[in-house]
Amino acid sequence: MRAVAVTATASELLRYRHLLWSLTWRDVRVRYKQSYLGVAWAVLLPLSMMLVFTFVFTRAIDATSVLNVNMPYALFAYTGLVPWTFFSVSLGGCVNSLVANRNLVTKVYFPREVFPLSCVASSMVDFVIAMVVLVGLGAYFHVTGGWRFTPGAPLLFLPVVVSVQIMLTVGIGMILAMANLFYRDVRQIFGVAIQLCMFVSAVVVPVPQDGSTLSRILAVNPMVPIIGAYRDCVVYARWPEPGPFLYATVVAVALLLGGWICFRRAAMRFAECI
């Protein structure tokens, strides 16, 4: 029965794909409307954060020997910041997606999943642009000798890594959108929590690999193996560690299915709570 319900939902979303596209394009246009730099902000956000953390860890306190990242720190940071920015911006849009579209929620019928999905899809545009800059950054370090690009089969695994991150983001996004509709404090709590989570997700500082209690606790975070997989495929030219990445995949699928089930069951109450 559950498989039938999933198939029916997928078919329904496919029928409303034009609405999903319209909402996605609307989100992109609103984000950069009357913005002088436009889509350049998709690059400036992770790039500026990379410059800040590079200055802090390589100039202000010179922690490169402690970090032991085996590559230019700027490349290490940017490779983590690009998927993290995609993750955090997507969830930031999802958490308020139902409340921000209250008129549509209360007046027109369509699968409500399109709201968090459109937020993730619009953030995907920024992600693709930022990844292009990653190619340029890698080319710079390759030419200057700070790092050498080694093409290989692991690079072909990158779409799988992106797909797992999208599943995780959509699952959490539906939960946040639903929770914020019922409890408006969720949006405020999320704003604080997502900033703190960046520092425990191997974005700018690698997770300890010493088998300590702290390293085991941090390994529970599914974004740690996902961001590690980005670096493995793109920078290290090696396959992601199968155990941690499989764990992240299982968590992503579980959150996607669990988030969707809760979202569907609560959808009947959306109109009255908004």
Question: Across residues 131-141, what is the average pLDDT?
Answer: 88
| pLDDT at 15 > cutoff 60 | yes
Is residue 142 within 8 A of residue 148, CB to CB? The reply is: yes
**Band (64; pLDDT cuts 50, 70, 90):** low
Residue type at position 239: W
| pLDDT at 87 > cutoff 70 | yes
| pLDDT at 35 > cutoff 70 | no
Is residue 173 within 8 A of residue 96, CB to CB? The reply is: no
Is residue 149 within 8 A of residue 138, CB to CB? The reply is: yes
Res 36: pLDDT: 62
Q: What is d(CA 171, CA 158) in angstroms, rounded to the nearest whole number?
A: 20
Q: Which of 267, 259, 256, 235 is nearest to 77 (CA)?
A: 235
| Residue 35 backbone class (left: φ over 0; alpha: ψ -120 to 50; beta: rest) | beta
Model pTM score: 0.89
Report how far apart the first and last C-alpha atoms of the chain are (Å, whole number): 30
Res 63: pLDDT: 55
Q: In terms of pLDDT, which residue wins out, 268 or 172?
A: 172
How does pLDDT run across 210-258, given as a tens digit for each residue? 777 777 888 899 999 999 999 999 988 899 999 999 999 999 999 999 9
CA distances from 163 to 3, 249, 252 (A): 20, 9, 10
For the chain, the average pLDDT equals 85
Q: Which of 82, 236, 42 is nearest to 157 (CA)?
A: 236
Res 173: pLDDT: 95
Residue type at position 183: Y
Q: In terms of pLDDT, which residue wins out, 179 or 268?
A: 179
Q: In terms of pLDDT, which residue wins out, 67 or 42?
A: 42
Question: Across residues 147-151, what is the average pLDDT?
Answer: 82
The secondary structure of 205-238 as a DSSP string is: SPPP-S--HHHHHHTTSTHHHHHHHHHIIIII-S
Among 11-15, 117-121, 159-163, 236-240, which is the least confidently predicted range?
A: 11-15
Res 243: pLDDT: 93
CA angle 76, 192, 58 (to 5 degrees): 25
Res 189: pLDDT: 92
The residue assigned the tokens 């029928």 is 15
How many Cβ atoms are within 10 Å of 1's Cβ, its own excluded? 5
Q: What is d(CA 215, CA 15) in angstroms, rounded to the nearest whole number?
A: 45
Res 266: pLDDT: 86
- Helix pair 158-182, 242-266: axis angle to 10 deg: 30
